[in-house]
Structure 1
Amino acid sequence: MRIVCIGGGPAALYFAISAKRRDAAHEITVLEKDPRGATYGWGVVCHDGLLDRLYRNDRESARAIRARSHLWQEQEVHLRGEEVGYLPGYGFSVPRAGLLEVLANRAADLGVEVRYESPVPAPALADGTFESGELAADLVVVADGARSRVREHVADDFGTALATGRNPYIWLGTEKVFTSFTFAFEETHAGWIWCYGYPTSAGVSTFIVECSPETFTGLGLDTLPHEDGIALLEKVFAHTLDGQALISSSRGRPSPWLRFLEVRNETWRHANVVLLGDAAHTTHFTMGQGTRFAMTDSMMLAQALYEQPSLSAALGWFDRKGREALRTAQAAARTGAAWFEHVDRYLDRDAVEFAFSLSHRQGLQRPWRYQWHMATQLTAVRKGRRLAHTGQRWWRARKRGEQPFVPRGLLHAG
């Protein structure tokens, strides 16, 4: 099958890998408008569940992704720079540039043609056909992000609905190395502003700042020159950053202030065209699940093409099952985003109660969970929980074959 993928992010590249792994006869071309290595994000979060799936799907790329990932343990919720509440959990983060490099190299090894600096004009896709130079396609995969120009050209075919979030946010980096996933909420003369920090690569962490529109304008962040705005954020979060500077540009481009764009589509397919990743759906960045959903889409679509009797049947199955799987997650993400958009309603609490509210922002919880949350603020309980998580990581890593269950010497004995 001749397949053209529009966009060179995790969704398109991992789909190309997954499809080639199942059928090497596919002729797959990935078209990316930017130069190779030009990515404007920082770290993306993944968890053991995603790593398990990646190892089952393609061990080679999974090993390379895991080698570039950095562990964070526990979550800390700082309030006014003085109080701290603790939440359980652990995860891994991977530099976005490193993730794309791994996926691009693996795709090329499998025979996928990845063309950089190859923008696709939106009119190239019309009436379910694709025309761009000498390329022809039996299947067109549109994976050029939430603000997909190609999708927007035929938005009526997909029933696209877009909604812009209320709060401005900015994606930054810092040389302060976090060992826990850290939330910090600071009160200023213009209102509350908060950050999310977690490790990204050796010596660098991701640092996302968010606030209400009122705080944004009250601090002058809407009018200050970029460098002055970054300096202001360094001052506000000086305690969290331990005096380290913020890195305000990635690959030479200053980080812009954004508002989250929620993308929903009534259908993910039209004729022989299918949407993938953020072009099909988005979930609020505070869930930390965007890359997971994009790569899960990729595996589902590749498996559908392999198992279903025809292209039409495969796209129909993927459309139904994919949207069904995302429905609950998107609803939870909207609830979570609304919590942050009205966070001032919860900030009259101490850090421990506030952390509980934050952790359960996406749905109702049984009353006993609050009592357990209070118990887990004790140092001894936290240490025990971290030890249990260490054992869990060890077990899952060996189940997926990161390391052998038996010492290497015994593997060659006898």
Structure 2
Amino acid sequence: MKMVCVGGGPAGLYFSILAKLSNPKHDVTVVERNPAGVTYGWGVVFWDDLLDDLYRNDPVSAQRIAQAAARWDTQEVHLRGQFATHIGGYGFALGRDRLLDILIRRAKGLGVDVRFQQDVTDASAFADADLVVACDGVNSRLRQRYVSHFQTHVEEGRNKYIWLGTNKVFDAFTFAFEETPAGWLWFHGYRFNGETSTCIVECQEATWKALGFDTLGPDETLRKLEDIFQNQLRGRSLFNQLKGMGKAPWLNFKRITNERWYHDNVVLMGDAAHTTHFSIGSGTKLAIQDAIGLAQQLRAHPEDLPAALEAYDEERRAALLAIQLAARSSSEWFENVPSYVNQDATAFAYSLLNRRGSSVWSYLLLMASQQPTLRGALRQIHASKRWVRARRRGRGAVALSAPPPG
């Protein structure tokens, strides 16, 4: 089968890997509009469930991703000079550029033709392809070309946000909330290597305008944000990747849904098919799981492409329902931050960390995390759980976690 993936992000690259592993005779091409080595974004986050999926489907790339990832085992919520600690909310992060490099090298090693600086707006450019995978992001050109068939719906979030990097290395996944005369701003910060952290700053649009961010240039924006968050950054810098822009790259989140994920031999994947709010950190996970789902259906229906695409559409749409609801709850919580800030740091942290649903157990764990004498015990318990799970994946995953003490 001749397959073309339009978009060189995690979805297209991982699908190309699985397609080649399924049948080395498949003719697989990935085309990306950016030059080689150029990507936008900082660190991506994921959890054990994605590592499990990666090891089940391609242990080679899984081991490389696991070894390159940074890990945190603590979340901190800062409010009015106080902070609350949560032990047990651990996860992993990896620079987007590093992740793509791993996947590109693996894909090329399997015989995938990876091409850069090719801008595709119409599937007719690949008239000889049996399957065209549209995985070209939130603003997918291919999806827009066939929008009446996919029945795309775009809903824009109310908050403004900007995706930045910083040389402040956060040991914990950090949420920091600061009040200004114009209103509240906050960031989600997490390290993804030994030198750099992602820092996503968010606020309500009224606050954004009142602080003048609608007119400030990129450098002025960074300096103003550094001043607002000086208590957390402690003299470290913020930076962005978009050089020479007239304005700083503030965005409104776009919630993308499609009534149908395929049209003829064109199928949607990743952010082209769906988006979930960045506050739940599932974009990369869902993109890769889309790739796994499509590869599995193609193997299950080797002689019937329409049946494979229909099965993929039904399976992945159903799998997304719960996480899309959770993402909506999360985004709505952040759109209403001023309604929650009149609490102490611990109560506020409970509201934040359980914005997708709460339980007595999560409350008890949070309260236990505030006790210095219990933090070490909690860390040891969770480290043991991580170590056991890593062992199940194979020796290559063990590098992520040291064995439990004793």
Q: CA RMSD in A?
A: 1.7
Greater displacement, 305-314 / 186-195: 305-314
TM superposition shift of 1:142: 0.3
Taking a change above 3 Å as real, the CA distance of residues 66 and 372 of structure 1, as seen in their structure-2 partners, is closer
Does structure 1 conserve the Cα–Cα contact (< 8 Å) formed by 2:76 and 2:83?
Answer: no
Residues 8-407 of structure 1: pairs in structure 2 closer than 5 A: 8-86=8-86, 88-120=88-120, 122=121, 124-125=122-123, 130-132=124-126, 136-249=128-241, 256-309=249-302, 310-363=304-357, 365-367=358-360, 369-403=362-396
| Alpha-carbon distance in 1 for matches of 2:95, 2:13 | 16
| Alpha-carbon distance in 2 for matches of 1:317, 1:390 | 39
Match for 2:137: what amino acid?
Answer: G
Match for 1:170: what amino acid?
Answer: I
SS for the counterpart of 2:192 is strand
**Number of paired residues?**
396
Match for 2:9: what amino acid?
Answer: G
Greater displacement, 38-47 / 219-228: 219-228
TM superposition shift of 1:85: 4.3
Does structure 2 conserve the Cα–Cα contact (< 8 Å) formed by 1:177 and 1:204?
Answer: yes
| Alpha-carbon distance in 2 for matches of 1:326, 1:185 | 30
Match for 1:277: what amino acid?
Answer: G
SS for the counterpart of 2:30 is strand
| Alpha-carbon distance in 2 for matches of 1:403, 1:51 | 11
SS for the counterpart of 1:166 is coil
Instruction: Output one character per residue of 1:123-167: Cα deviation in whole Å (capped at 9) or x when no partner.
Output: x23xxxx334xx620111000001111101111101110011111
| Alpha-carbon distance in 2 for matches of 1:172, 1:368 | 34
| Alpha-carbon distance in 1 for matches of 2:226, 2:189 | 13
Match for 1:341: what amino acid?
Answer: E
| Alpha-carbon distance in 1 for matches of 2:145, 2:264 | 15
Q: Provide the identity percentage.
A: 48
TM superposition shift of 1:250: 5.7
Does structure 1 conserve the Cα–Cα contact (< 8 Å) formed by 2:16 and 2:112?
Answer: yes
Match for 1:248: what amino acid?
Answer: N
Does structure 2 conserve the Cα–Cα contact (< 8 Å) formed by 1:172 and 1:207?
Answer: yes
Does structure 1 conserve the Cα–Cα contact (< 8 Å) formed by 2:330 and 2:356?
Answer: yes
| Alpha-carbon distance in 2 for matches of 1:252, 1:2 | 40
Does structure 2 conserve the Cα–Cα contact (< 8 Å) formed by 1:85 and 1:351?
Answer: no
| Alpha-carbon distance in 2 for matches of 1:389, 1:86 | 12
| Alpha-carbon distance in 2 for matches of 1:369, 1:249 | 37
TM superposition shift of 1:404: 9.1
TM superposition shift of 1:112: 0.6
| Alpha-carbon distance in 2 for matches of 1:255, 1:99 | 26
Instruction: Output one character per residue of 1:148-198: Cα deviation in whole Å (capped at 9) or x when no partner.
Output: 111011111011100111111111111111111000000001000001111
Does structure 1 conserve the Cα–Cα contact (< 8 Å) formed by 2:84 and 2:370?
Answer: no
| Alpha-carbon distance in 2 for matches of 1:237, 1:404 | 36
TM superposition shift of 1:376: 3.0
Greater displacement, 203-212 / 374-383: 374-383
Partner of 1:411: none
Match for 2:146: what amino acid?
Answer: V
Which TM-score applies when normalising by structure 1? 0.92
Which TM-score applies when normalising by structure 2? 0.94
| Alpha-carbon distance in 2 for matches of 1:305, 1:262 | 28
Match for 1:89: what amino acid?
Answer: G
| Alpha-carbon distance in 1 for matches of 2:60, 2:248 | 33
Q: Which runs of 5+ in 1 are unaligned?
A: 406-414
